[in-house]
């Protein structure tokens, strides 16, 4: 059975079984390896992508259940993603980097819902994203900075 | 073309960069035997670190980038002297090669505390360092990369610059002394500029000159926080890890190895797996199976479906029995007494305490994985690793090939923490690839496989005796029992059994800069075969907790402020260490009293050449405890990149706090009870403290930064808990004793 999905505004066809998690469709079937596998049980956030603009754990979304277009870290360019990526550069957030695609996608979903989150709101939104390198201070600073940047009308990088 | 050129072209097969008409420096020297291994000046120019091709300058960094920023700092050493343009250079991981031996690894070889090392002892270890070249240990670990590269890689940049200038001088018919260099170009007095790219080919044939290194006052890159060379790739999803390599016809694999550690496999039935969609093959790996499938999901489902008849482990049946086994080591003569001052046996102990810490997993964010491809008798492997030459050897053996039939690439590591020294996943990937010749395979472990097949930080027990008089410690007598990481891991790495006193087993306890008249640390090696390995800060990770918790007990027994008590004992031994205690006192506002709902604890550990003090501030929130703030002061000597040092300190601290708070691996029938993050979690953003870092540069010797933040974090947390609740916790993790926000 062939499924048609849209990722980063590009259309793809895949004959992976409908129970295949989106994570593995992206990584293995489509070759989009920017999205990472960390746990497979919704407890680390490394696999976070957007479906119809909402942050989801792609290890938990079956191909057959997909309800909208997918955006991954490779999707770039749009605010707030671009604003976040440039804030991430300014704050030199990444260490090993493995969790960072998920962190950025989660933060992007936060900022599109809440363009000026306070600390408890950032804590609440980012709590599902583990970083074993411990980059949390820099992540928090970068999210706040990206929010400020967007409020000023920046964000295109 | 040169040997380096050849190696490098092969190492770039991943398609990252193509070296066309490139020139590699240091080519000729690498072939020459080293005349005098003790001469650092001559030794330093032997190594190939620079490629200049039509794309520009590539700097070879022969250490694994696992988050610690080593690609940035090591490349900056070369770029500084080479006058390369930081914004355009490329940084590549070097191929496995003896030339890239890690000399600084030998620094810890002498049975002496780092803070007490005299100059002659330092030169002696430099000599041993040169001898490690013979072993060719190209290891990223021990917080040694920068120390090791500091002179070597600056010299590589400086000599390359002078070779380029000498070619330019000849072309222009003027003296090289009149030429300047900037941003990858030679600049003549009349303003004429020649790009390095136009000089490189000829320059590579020049003799390597002797050059003096620039004094730090002239540095333009070093000493500043540089934009990391890996940052853009990592925020755009372009950074490639072991399992991100895309190859034509790629198949996806996972393994399911015997979870009863030390056990085996009597047989298996592959039929249920082969009946699943997408599953293509089930392979016998001896003590487990591999499944090859159309994607990783199908492979994991397939691996779960294989019916396997495991044979049991001969480890003790549960964790309590393992601790009993460790405690039995106290009945045997100690392996070491690396600190033995005064007459501890003549002093009556006033305090007796037993401490224990559990096994810990590394839980790198990226589970173990590798990509491998056997094509026409040549195996190409992509595996994030901390010891490429050893991995290459293991891969060759696993595939039944000669070593020169194997090419090994080291992509980015999604966390290392010591785990990726181990060659297990490399062996598996090479074996699987050799069983399906022609087909590239991407091997990804499930998180459960990763957590249950780690080389764990060992559990350890300490028995302490202490006494105080007139506000001072008069006795500190420690016995430490654990299985030996040094023996297990170095044995696996080098294939040699180590004997003699095991320094790594007692590091963090015997080598601390305290003046105590009766001071003894005895190491007892336990006989327990749980696979153990290097875990961030290694022995310091448990000894730091033992030592600094007990110092705290002594301070309270003496009725003293724990920070002032430490300063009194540390001051006479080491002004450098006293400096970090003073600094952490200042940044944490230690002397300002706190409300009753808040309390602080302090600890200091000198590890990997860097004394590091931590203050943790706890706060009661409703009925729970929050780790509200953390303060770190460290003195790694000269700092090459302050932002990287700061982020490593934060990282080490959070890694330590995560372990102290909730980290614990327990076993039933030799199988780890924890399999995934819900059972073995780390700090998250909401329970990570606000962190302040003070970096001092008074230490006359350069120390590491990747690990020293971890050891003092754990006792500082437990000491703060004592200050808050009056409860002295002597066993980790703390969640068994107090209600923290999780
Ligand atoms: S891999 Fe999906 S949350 Fe961890
Ligand atoms: S940067 Fe390494 S896990 Fe987050």
Q: Are the Cβ atoms of A134 and B685 closer than 8 angstroms?
A: no
Across the range B608-618, mean pLDDT stands at 97
Q: pLDDT tens for residues A95-134?
A: 999 999 999 999 999 999 999 999 999 999 999 999 999 9
Looking at per-residue pLDDT, the higher value among B18 and B616 belongs to: B616
Closest residue in B to A82 (Cα) is B236
Distance CA B206, CA B69 (A): 32
- B127 pLDDT more than 90: no
DSSP H helices, B609-688, are: 642-662
Tell me how far the alpha carbon of residue A128 lies from the centroid of ligand 1, in angstroms. 9
Rounded average pLDDT over B127-135 = 53
Structure tokens at B697: 């540069």
Residue ranges and CATH numbers for the domains of chain B are: 33-102+137-235 (3.30.365.10), 251-313+368-444 (3.30.365.10), 319-360+455-736 (3.30.365.10)
Distance CA B456, CA B459 (A): 9
With 0-12 / 13-18 / 19 or more C-beta atoms within 10 angstroms meaning exposed / middle / buried, residue A71 is: buried
Q: What would the two tokens of residue B737 be?
A: 């004793």
DSSP for B359-381, please give it: BB----SSPSEEEEEEETTEEEE
Tell whether A42 lies on the interface with B, counting CB pairs under 8 A.
no
- Of B98-102, B190-194, B225-229, the range with the lowest mean pLDDT is B98-102
Task: Return d(Cα B303, Cα B314) in angstroms, integer.
Answer: 24
pLDDT digits (tens, 9 = 90+) for B301-350: 999 999 999 999 999 999 999 999 999 999 999 999 999 999 999 999 89
Domain segments of chain A as ranges: 3-75, 76-151
Mind listing the pLDDT tens digit for each residue in B346-367? 999 899 999 999 999 999 999 9
Percent of all residues in chain B with a pLDDT value above 70, rounded to a whole number: 91
Q: Does A27 touch chain B (CB under 8 A)?
A: yes
How large is the angle between the packed helices A136-151 and A100-113, nearest 10 degrees? 40
Does the CB atom of residue B365 touch ligand 2 within 6 A?
A: yes
CA angle A110, A111, A114 (to 5 degrees): 85
Q: Do domains A3-75 and A76-151 have the same CATH topology?
A: no
pLDDT digits (tens, 9 = 90+) for A5-59: 999 999 999 999 999 999 999 999 999 999 999 999 999 999 999 999 999 999 9
Residues in contact with ligand 1 (CB, 6 Å cut-off): A 37-40, 42-47, 57, 59
Pick A76-151's CATH classification: 3.10.20.740, 3.20.20.70, 1.10.150.120, 3.40.50.10320: 1.10.150.120
Q: What is the pLDDT of residue B15?
A: 24
Q: Judged by CB atoms within 8 Å, which residues 89-148 of A form the interface with B? A: 89, 92-101, 104, 122-124, 126-140
Mutation test of the interface with chain B: which of A58, A78, A98, choosing the one with the most B Cβ atoms within 10 A?
A98
Asked if the model's pLDDT at residue B419 lies above 70, the reply is: yes
Q: If we measure between CA atoms, which residue out of B154, B219, B167 comes closest to residue B196?
A: B167
For all residues of chain A together, what is the average pLDDT?
94
Q: How far is B455 from chain A, CA to nearest CA, in Å?
A: 17
When pLDDT is averaged across residues B634-646 and rounded to a whole number, the result is 97
For the entire predicted model, the pTM comes to 0.93
Residue A62: closest CA among chain B residues belongs to which residue?
B297
Side-chain half-sphere exposure of B262, counting CA atoms within 13 A: 17
Is the pLDDT confidence value at B11 over 60?
Answer: no
What pLDDT, on the 0 to 100 scale, is given for residue B136? Answer: 61
| Number of residues written out for chain A | 157
CA distances from residue B553 to A23, B478, B592, B694 in whole angstroms, order as listed: 50, 13, 22, 26
Q: Which atom of ligand 2 is nearest to the CA of A132?
A: 3
DSSP letter string, B96-142: S-GGG--GGGGGGGSSS-GGG--HHHHHHHHHHHHHHHHHT-----T
pLDDT greater than 70 at residue B9: no
pLDDT tens-place string over residues B486-519: 999 888 877 777 788 999 999 999 999 999 999 9
DSSP labels, B235-275: HTT---BTT----TT-EEEEEEE-SSTT-EEEEEE-HHHHT
ipTM score of the complex? 0.97
Nearest chain B CA: its distance from A69 CA (Å) = 19
Inter-chain touch B684–A129, beta carbons under 8 Å: yes
pLDDT tens, residue by residue, B149-179: 898 899 999 999 999 999 999 999 999 999 9
Plot region of B36 (φ>0 → left; ψ -120 to 50 → alpha; else → beta) = beta
Size of interface A-B (CB pairs under 8 A): 188
Average pLDDT over residues B647-653: 98
Alpha carbon of A92: minimum distance to chain B alpha carbons (Å): 7
- With CB atoms and an 8 Å threshold, state whether A89 touches B232: yes
Predicted local distance difference test score (pLDDT) of residue B124: 66
Residues of B (643-662) whose Cβ lies below 8 Å from A:
643, 647, 650-655, 658
Which of ligand 2's atoms lies nearest the C-alpha of A96? 2
Q: Which of B14, B65, B68, B237 to mutate to test the interface with A (most CBs of A within 10 A)?
A: B237
In sequence order, the 6+-apart residues with CB closer than 8 A to the CB of B185 are: B193, B194, B195, B196
What fold characterizes domain A3-75?
Ubiquitin-like (UB roll) (3.10.20)
Ligand 2 atom closest to the Cα of residue A134 is: 4
CA distances from A27 to A20, A63, A110, B24, B463 (A): 11, 13, 24, 36, 50
Q: CA–CA separation, B592 vs B523, rounded Å?
A: 39
């Amino acid at each position: 059975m062939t499924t048609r999905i849209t990722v980063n505004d590009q259309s793809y066809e895949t004959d992976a079984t409908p129970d295949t998690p989106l994570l593995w469709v992206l990584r293995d079937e489509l070759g989009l390896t920017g999205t990472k596998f960390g746990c497979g049980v919704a407890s680390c956030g490394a696999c976070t992508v957007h479906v119809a603009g909402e942050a989801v754990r792609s290890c938990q979304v079956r191909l057959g259940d997909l309800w909208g277009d997918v955006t991954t870290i490779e999707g770039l360019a749009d605010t707030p993603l671009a604003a976040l990526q440039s804030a991430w550069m300014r704050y030199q957030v990444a260490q090993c980097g493995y969790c960072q695609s998920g962190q950025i996608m989660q933060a992007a979903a936060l900022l599109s819902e809440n363009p000026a989150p306070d600390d408890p709101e950032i804590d609440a939104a980012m709590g599902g994203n583990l970083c074993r390198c411990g980059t949390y201070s820099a992540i928090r600073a970068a999210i706040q900075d990206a929010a400020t940047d967007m409020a000023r009308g920046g964000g295109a990088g | 073309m040169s040997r380096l050129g050849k190696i490098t072209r092969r190492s770039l097969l991943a398609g990252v960069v193509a070296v066309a008409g490139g020139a590699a420096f240091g080519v000729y020297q690498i072939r020459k035997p080293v005349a005098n291994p003790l001469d650092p000046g001559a030794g330093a120019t032997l190594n190939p670190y620079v490629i200049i091709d039509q794309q520009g300058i590539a700097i070879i960094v022969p250490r694994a980038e696992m988050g610690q920023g080593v690609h940035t700092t090591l490349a900056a050493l070369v770029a500084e002297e080479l006058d390369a343009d930081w914004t355009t250079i490329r940084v590549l991981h070097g191929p496995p090669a003896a030339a890239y031996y890690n000399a600084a690894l030998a620094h810890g070889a002498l049975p002496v505390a780092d803070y007490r090392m005299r100059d002659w002892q330092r030169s002696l270890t430099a000599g041993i360092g040169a001898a490690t070249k013979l072993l060719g240990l190209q290891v990223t670990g021990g917080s040694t990369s920068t120390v090791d590269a500091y002179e070597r890689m600056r010299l590589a940049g400086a000599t390359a610059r002078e070779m380029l200038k000498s070619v330019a001088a000849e072309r222009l018919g003027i003296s090289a002394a009149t030429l300047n260099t900037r941003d990858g170009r030679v600049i003549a007095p009349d303003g004429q500029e020649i790009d390095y790219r136009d000089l490189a080919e000829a320059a590579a044939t020049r003799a390597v000159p002797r050059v003096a290194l620039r004094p730090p006052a002239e540095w333009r890159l070093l000493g500043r926080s540089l934009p990391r060379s890996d940052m853009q790739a990592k925020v755009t999803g372009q950074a490639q890890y072991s399992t991100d390599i895309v190859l034509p016809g790629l198949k996806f694999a996972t393994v399911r190895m015997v979870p009863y550690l030390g056990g085996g496999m009597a047989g298996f039935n592959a039929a249920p797996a082969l009946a699943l969609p997408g599953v293509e093959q089930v392979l016998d790996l001896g003590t487990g199976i591999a499944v090859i499938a159309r994607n990783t999901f199908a492979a994991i489902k397939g691996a779960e479906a294989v019916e396997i008849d495991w044979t049991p482990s001969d480890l003790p049946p549960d964790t309590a029995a393992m601790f009993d086994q460790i405690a039995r080591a106290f009945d045997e003569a100690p392996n070491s007494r690396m600190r033995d001052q005064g007459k501890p046996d003549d002093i009556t102990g006033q305090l007796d305490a037993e401490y224990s810490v559990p096994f810990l997993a590394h839980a790198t964010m990226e589970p173990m994985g590798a990509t491998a491809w056997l094509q026409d008798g040549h195996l190409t492997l992509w595996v994030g690793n901390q010891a490429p030459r050893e991995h290459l050897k293991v891969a060759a053996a696993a595939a039944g090939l000669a070593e020169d039939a194997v090419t090994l690439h080291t992509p980015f590591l999604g966390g290392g923490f010591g785990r990726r020294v181990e060659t297990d996943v490399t062996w598996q990937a090479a074996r699987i690839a050799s069983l399906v010749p022609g087909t590239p395979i991407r091997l990804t472990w499930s998180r459960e496989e990763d957590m249950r097949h780690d080389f764990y930080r060992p559990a350890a027990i300490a028995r302490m005796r202490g006494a105080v008089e007139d506000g001072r410690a008069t006795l500190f007598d420690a016995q430490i029992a654990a299985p030996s990481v040094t023996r297990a891991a170095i044995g696996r790495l080098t294939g040699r059994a180590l004997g003699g006193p095991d320094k790594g087993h007692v590091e963090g306890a015997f080598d601390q800069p305290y003046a105590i008249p009766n001071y003894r640390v005895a190491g007892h090696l336990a006989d327990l075969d749980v696979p153990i390995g290097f875990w961030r800060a290694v022995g310091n990770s448990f000894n730091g907790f033992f030592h600094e918790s007990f110092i705290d007990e002594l301070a309270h027994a003496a009725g003293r402020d724990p920070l002032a008590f430490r300063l009194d004992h540390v001051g006479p031994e080491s002004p450098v260490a006293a400096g970090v205690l003073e600094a952490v006192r200042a940044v944490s506002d230690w002397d300002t009293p706190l409300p009753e709902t808040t309390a602080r604890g302090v600890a200091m550990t000198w590890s990997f050449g860097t004394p590091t003090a931590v203050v943790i501030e706890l706060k009661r929130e409703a009925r729970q405890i929050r780790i509200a703030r953390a303060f770190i002061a460290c003195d790694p000597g000269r700092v090459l990149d302050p932002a990287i040092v700061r982020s490593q300190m934060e990282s080490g601290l959070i890694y330590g706090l995560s372990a102290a708070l909730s980290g614990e691996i327990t076993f039933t029938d030799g199988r780890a009870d924890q399999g995934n993050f819900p059972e073995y979690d780390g700090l998250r953003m909401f329970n990570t403290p606000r962190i302040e870092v003070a970096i001092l540069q008074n230490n006359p010797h350069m120390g590491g930064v990747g690990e020293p933040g971890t050891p003092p974090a754990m006792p500082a947390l437990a000491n703060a808990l004592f200050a808050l609740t009056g409860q002295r916790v002597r066993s980790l993790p703390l969640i068994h004793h107090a209600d923290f926000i999780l």
